[in-house]
Structure 1
């Protein structure tokens, strides 16, 4: 309560938000027991399916939807989390991602991270969605794409001399296929949003749009960045994502709700008897039965259980197992299935069935922190809709559509100025010493993979690509509601960690060691990013409303000061990747360009764990694109057909031209029962008392 009462001028607005969230959640709550037809109980399962998809998250539900378009194919999704029905009122409201998040509760894996020496051994946690829809159901909804330069670099790294399977053209097509883009409405154009319609999809299942309320301060973002040498990006989604822009978000503008893998790819489907989804089913291992003609192991069944003490059940596999459990879940399952580094598996008491040293290696993550500034009461009030949602076009529902969206990707020239060349030279010269001392594996192929990834990353330093992301945080910072943050996130770390196990029980969490800041270049990039954020906050027109730096404050000025502050404040940006990297076997790879696990005849991995390098972007959009293209690849292999044209995509109920000018008019206006409204008022009175 002290935080609320210390800002009495903003108390009415904060109470308004609380009341709005309570009533909005109640009005969106589905009727008890409502399930899409495809969500089933264990008693309804068949004994065998053509495809068993492990993980009903961002990629898994794309695959489920697309593969089940073939009526002669049976598909089962096994999801460890619950359906999300009981939390739909929270999930569906965009602003709840910040004000009423599901993170930290039963719908979040909350993976603990091994204490990191470079961060003062602080205890950290990686939030990941444990609910149907996965992290797309709980994330901040940024729909940001990587650039052509880095995607083509991935393709060349994954398949030297044969980069035609992936690359920009392939991923770009998948990302466009996944989305229906809706241009910004008149209500938010004061933010000077720039976009290129031709770079977006127009009939995909997932909506990519903008909130129907954006605070006026966002309009100062681009001009302030331009003043410090970072130009606006006129079309950040067509392959050149560097510079500043207002990002799209995965928001459905027909009713201003979250658009995520469940709502987009599953809930909108017509009845499909060949698709079933079982929730509360944690996959414990893959079962192999013999080898193929090529000598590879063949997965014949998938074992799962509802919890640690429950009986293990199995379902048979007719064609393929597809792991879509993310950068933590997919390697975890492979390891417990006996596929991975033999020394690790022997230590954990897991029988080695196939030695594959790269499983769990090459782990990379975006780390972030923020410089915080005070602002005026007037500016804080404008962020809270001027104290009244009546001033927002579309009213309460539009107000609750607001999420952070002003971003920029800043290159090394803007970060280091005249010292950029010296920084690049030092990074290049440190490759061999880094490979000798920083790789968390003794396997020669994994070390070679580190060198290859490092070499690509240091070459990209010479490109216009952003290596630090800068975000405008208008949602309350730890300094209170009258503060604004400028966040800094490292995009392409030179530090690589790993994921491993020390138990043979799948219900024991894996050990995650990202090796944060083990490479000095990462410290320098974050330091330069923090200095840049300070300079940006002192630059007009942002400086017209930012009244002084709160954190870290003027006491932090030297490089040592900045490094100490960064070590104490960084955390994850929620973007782990690369633990099942698409690389040649000689580079410690786990999957080939067809997404098949080396040494396994019928197991693929389709999720963010396969990207061998970190992209300068959020990972949701490229993961959707990956899953779309993977589905086409799998269907072509098994059924000699390609995926239907995007004009028949599920979930596309409106094209941009068909949307009303103020789409909020179509939002649900169902009344709230008196008992629910009384509960909301009771909560507010309790806070004021």
Structure 2
């Protein structure tokens, strides 16, 4: 039987796999036991100081921190359910693979439009639709970006006030503030050859960061194998140098081996707070806006329980804070009349602020994998027959993938890395004028700014350009198979997200324009080649009995790799940058205080504000960003300041029907082995014409 079937059976036997995903009512006693501020009867006050749109990662961090001020009232509006009825599926780490909530009502089930460079395939974009958001359904990797990436983020703000709040020295303490790190047991540490530096971790924060209670022995071969090919083990991946090979921490509570996510970390442990309300099953349809001097102000937030339900409003005393993620936040802005006028006007939505960057700059980590057959012993260890009598225990069921590596550009391309960088620089103007989906000059300027940072600051550094993941939790090819995944980390391909309906319950159009920039094809190809090389290198090759996909006989040349990978790639579930923090003249949506340009009391706090993707999973930097935002907001209001963007010039219009809707019911390492296969000088230029032709179809 397939490995995943065996573990799924175990989950069922211990009563942890919920078969019925319908929302079940809870007794009053259970509600009191599991909730802190969660409203089950739908009754909320008419106004709150802070209305937070989205109860995912950032939204619940903000709710917890802002409500620490007893004289401040906080409301969270979450489109999804509480998750109480499926708490076992959320809590058990192994269920992320074997009894997933993806594809159910707890998943937004977004999908991209067909992607020309991927043979016109449309890709699924799952996102958590439940209290806790995607932290309730993700793979639990607690991986931090490197110092250079945060410092580059701050540098892109052109010296604007508050820019240094996003540099490493400011964000590092915030990531540690959110963290409660527990070192691995001696047995797990030895089994996985795990290294860490306790000084880089927080030990008193809400989010547990630790390691599974069981490891498949093959994990212990990971860092040694990478060391053989020149990608050295990293003893301190969380201290600002996040490259090389390591065993990542995971958001697991080691006391009971359950998932630690934003609800269980920031909300459930709270004592009763009369000033905090969290309303599930409340989809925000728009912000109701009014003129506020030279700016626009959110006076109310409109929401509904479901499509066709009566619209309700709640008043905003201080701020409306969007925390809907890279998809939800720009969507709400556009339905509210803040966004590109060329999107809003054809729909009949009055444009309060013409902000061309809303929905632009959309980025994601695109991933593929090389699949191998493995030894019976390795398969059996995962199935639990060698679990030391712990089969079915919480420790065994906490096993998740955690072996990871971040090769830099020299690891991938060897001696051709400088030529590759030169090709990118030579084509920046071409890429910005040809591949950017917006024609707005400020958006194009922003693309050039981020392209320059990627090409000339991050790429020549030790920062990883590809992420390698050792997947031991089953593949689509059945029993006795494992995989090594490769995912591009700093894509030059950028897409867009926009609405094409006035109904906020209609899903937005998601177009990441995967592989539209030819540099991405080359980097991903070389990452997949490196995955193959790892499978052939000791000691990892001792547990591998052959390559199943793509297979060395079927794929060996660069054209063969390129033709194969476009049919098997998928998202790594890391959408970002659709409300980018950039200067307004670079197509930015928020300033360094997270306030939307042209508004006096609307902020965005989620992964949509990152101006570029990180070489990391996005959970930890988003926790750090949310902690920083909460501190920033509390200091702002406690000091009695008045919001003002008076120095900002935006194109704004204030419709006469401010209180009504125009949208109806309208939400440094070594050299790379075998690098000679990379195309030499001019590779990008050779592919550019084909890419342009492809996207013109």
TM score, norm. by length of structure 2? 0.88
Could you say if the C-alpha distance between residues 639 and 228 of structure 1 is closer, same or farther in structure 2, counting changes exceeding 3 Å?
Answer: same
Contact preservation (8 Å) 1:497, 1:514: yes
Alignment equivalent of 2:403, drawn from 386, 401, 406: 406
Aligned pairs for 1:201-600 within 5 A: 201-292=202-293, 295-386=294-385, 390-391=389-390, 396-459=393-456, 460-554=458-552, 555-600=554-599
Q: Distance in 1 between matches of 2:8 and 2:96?
A: 18
Cross-structure match for 1:646: none
Whole-angstrom distance in 2 between the partners of 1:433 and 1:518: 12
2:676 alignment partner in structure 1: none
Deviation of residue 383 (structure 1)? 2.1
C-alpha deviations, 1:577-622, integer Å up to 9, x for none? Answer: 0000000000000000000000011000000000001000000000
2:127 aligned partner: 128
Residue of structure 1 in register with 2:145 after alignment: 146
Q: Deviations over 1:159-194 (max 9, x none)?
A: 436642220011111100001000001231211100
Summarize the Cα distance change of 1:409–1:640 in structure 2 as closer, same or farther, 3 Å threshold.
Answer: same
The structure-2 alpha-carbon separation of the partners of 1:315 and 1:158, relative to structure 1 and needing over 3 Å to count, comes to same
Alignment correspondent of 1:70: 69
For structure 2, which runs of at least 5 residues remain unmatched after alignment?
642-697
Partner of 1:176: 176
C-alpha separation between the residues in 1 aligned to 2:281 and 2:142? 28
Mean alpha-carbon deviation: is it higher for 57-66 or for 421-430? 421-430
The alignment partner of 1:484 has SS state of: strand
Q: What CA deviation, in whole Å up to 9, does each residue of 1:65-123 have, x standing for no partner?
A: 00000000000000000000001010000000000000010000011101000001112
Distance 1:589 1:161, change over 3 A: closer
* Inter-partner Cα distance in structure 1 for 2:571 and 2:283: 25
| Contact 1:13-1:381 within 8 A present in 2 as well | no
Q: Alpha-carbon deviation of 1:348?
A: 2.4
1:233-282 CA-to-partner distances (Å, cap 9, x unmatched) read 11000000000000000000111100000000000000100000000000
Contact 1:215 1:385 in 2 (8 A): no
Distance in 2 (CA, whole Å) between partners of 1:68 and 1:499 is 32
SS, match of residue 165 in structure 1: helix
Give the Å deviation of 1:13. Answer: 4.3
SS in 2 for 1:396: coil
Residues 638-668 of structure 1: CA deviation (Å, up to 9, x unaligned): 11399xxxxxxxxxxxxxxxxxxxxxxxxxx
User: Cα deviations across residues 467-498 of structure 1 (Å, max 9, x unaligned)?
Assistant: 00000000000111201100000000000000
Q: How far is 1:385 from its partner?
A: 2.6
**3-state SS of the aligned residue for 2:317?**
strand
- In 1: Cα distance, 2:561 partner to 2:597 partner: 44
Q: 4+ residue runs of structure 1 moved beyond 3 angstroms?
A: 10-16, 18-26, 29-33, 159-163
Q: Secondary structure at the match of 2:222?
A: helix
Distance 1:11 1:534 in 2: 23
Alignment of 1:113 with 2:112, yes or no, is yes
C-alpha spacing 1:301/1:211, structure 2 compared with 1 (3 Å): same
Deviation (angstroms), 1:15: 6.8
Is the CA contact 2:8–2:99 (under 8 Å) kept in the aligned structure 1?
no
| TM-superposed deviation, 1:31 | 6.0
1:285 touches 1:337 (CA, 8 Å); kept in 2? Answer: yes
Gaps of 5+ in 1: 643-689
The more displaced of 96-105 and 632-641 is 632-641
Q: So what's the TM-score if we normalise by structure 1? A: 0.89
Matched residues, number: 631
Q: CA deviation at 1:42?
A: 5.8
The structural deviation recorded for 1:18 is 4.6
Paired position in structure 1 for 2:646: none
Matches within 5 A, 1:591-630: 591-630=590-629
Whether contact under 8 Å (2:160, 2:592) holds in the other structure is no
Return the offset for 1:388. 5.1
Instruction: Decide whether aligned partners of structure 1 residues 488 and 103 sit closer, same or farther in structure 2, where only a CA change above 3 A counts.
Output: same
Given that residues 390 and 396 in structure 2 are in contact (C-alpha distance below 8 angstroms), is that contact kept between their aligned partners in structure 1?
Answer: no
Residues 228 and 191 from structure 1, CA distance in 2 versus in 1: closer, same or farther, beyond 3 angstroms? Answer: same
Which residue of structure 1 aligns with residue 188 of structure 2?
Answer: 188
- Structure-2 separation of matches of 1:557 and 1:534: 10
